[in-house]
Amino acid sequence: MNARVAFCVIFLVFFFLVDSKKLDPYKVLGVDKSASQREIQKAFHKLSLQYHPDKNKNKGAQEKFAEINNAYDILSDEEKRKNYDLYGDEKPNPGFGGGSPNDQGYTYFTSGGPGQGGFNFRPDGWQSMGGQGGSKSFSFSFGGPSGGGGGFGLDDIFSNFFGGNMGGGSHFGGSQFGGSQFRGSGSSSRPDSRPSRSIATVNSQTYRKEVADKGITWLLLSSTSSLQGNQYYEPVIEEVDSSLQGALKVGKINCDTEASLCKELGIFPRRAPRLFVYSYAASGSGSLVEYSGDLAAKSLKIFCQEHLPRFSKRVSLDQFKFPSGDEKSLPTVMLLSTKKDTPVIWRALSGLYQKRFLLYDAQVHDTSDPMVKKLGVDSLPALVGWTSNGEKHILKTGISVKDLKSAVNDLSGLLDGFEKKNKKAGSTSRKQQTESEDKQIPTLSGSNFDSVCDENIPVCIIGVFRSSKARTKLESILLEVSHKSLSRRQYSASGGKETIAYALLDATKQSSFLNSFDKNGYKSSDSLLLAYKPRRDKFAAFVGDISMEEVEKFIGSVLNGDVQFSKTRQKPKLK
Q: In this structure, are residues 539 and 561 in contact, taking their beta carbons and an 8 Å threshold?
A: no
Q: Specify the pLDDT at position 176.
A: 35
In the sheet that 200-201 helps form, which strands lie side by side, from edge to edge?
200-201, 248-254, 217-223, 274-279, 287-291
Which domains are seen in the chain, by residue range?
Answer: 2-191 (1.10.287.110), 195-306 (3.40.30.10), 313-437 (3.40.30.10), 449-567 (3.40.30.10)
SS3 at position 230:
helix
Q: Specify the pLDDT at position 426.
A: 67
Helices (H), 56-100: 61-75, 78-87
In this structure, is the dihedral angle defined by the CA atoms of residues 497, 502, 506 and 511, taken in order, positive or negative?
positive
What CA–CA distance (Å, rounded) separates 351 from 411? 13
Contacts of residue 110, defined as CB under 8 A and 6 or more positions apart, other chains included, come to: 94, 95, 96, 119, 120, 122
Q: In this structure, are residues 119 and 139 in contact, taking their beta carbons and an 8 Å threshold?
A: no
Q: Specify the pLDDT at position 93.
A: 53
Q: What is the DSSP letter of 12?
A: H
SS3 at position 538:
strand
What CA–CA distance (Å, rounded) separates 65 from 67? 5
pTM for this predicted structure: 0.46
Beta strands in 112-177 (DSSP E): 119-122, 137-142, 170-171, 176-177
Q: What is the pLDDT along the chain (575 residues), one digit of tens a residue?
A: 555 555 554 444 444 443 345 689 999 999 998 899 888 988 988 898 888 877 788 888 888 988 988 889 899 888 888 888 887 776 665 443 334 334 443 333 333 343 333 333 333 333 333 333 333 333 333 333 333 333 333 333 223 333 333 333 333 333 333 333 333 333 333 344 344 456 899 999 999 999 998 999 999 999 998 887 778 898 999 999 999 988 999 999 999 999 999 999 999 998 889 999 998 865 667 899 999 998 899 999 999 999 999 899 999 998 888 876 655 578 999 999 999 999 999 999 999 999 999 999 999 999 999 999 989 999 999 999 999 888 899 999 999 877 888 888 999 999 999 999 988 876 655 555 555 445 588 999 888 888 888 888 899 999 999 999 999 999 999 988 887 755 444 433 334 445 789 999 999 999 899 999 998 889 888 999 999 999 999 999 998 889 999 999 999 899 888 999 999 999 898 87
Torsion, Cα 437 438 442 447, to 10 degrees, reads 80
Q: Specify the pLDDT at position 444.
A: 92
Phi, psi of 443 (to 5 degrees): -95, 125
Q: Specify the pLDDT at position 427.
A: 65
Q: Specify the pLDDT at position 265.
A: 95
In this structure, is the dihedral angle defined by the CA atoms of residues 172, 174, 175 and 179, taken in order, positive or negative?
negative
Q: How far apart are the first and last CA of the chain?
A: 121
- Amino acid at residue number 290: E
Pairing of strands 248-254, 217-223: parallel
SS3 at position 82:
helix
Helix (H) or strand (E) holding 265: helix 259-265
Q: What is the DSSP letter of 332?
A: E
3-class SS letters over 304-328 = HHHCCCCCCEEECCCCCCCCCCCCC
Q: CB count, 10 Å around CB of 257?
A: 14
- CA 499 vs. chain centroid, Å, equals 58
Helix (H) or strand (E) holding 204: helix 204-206
Torsion, Cα 406 410 415 421, to 10 degrees, reads 160
Q: In this structure, are residues 20 and 128 in contact, taking their beta carbons and an 8 Å threshold?
A: yes
Q: Specify the pLDDT at position 575.
A: 78
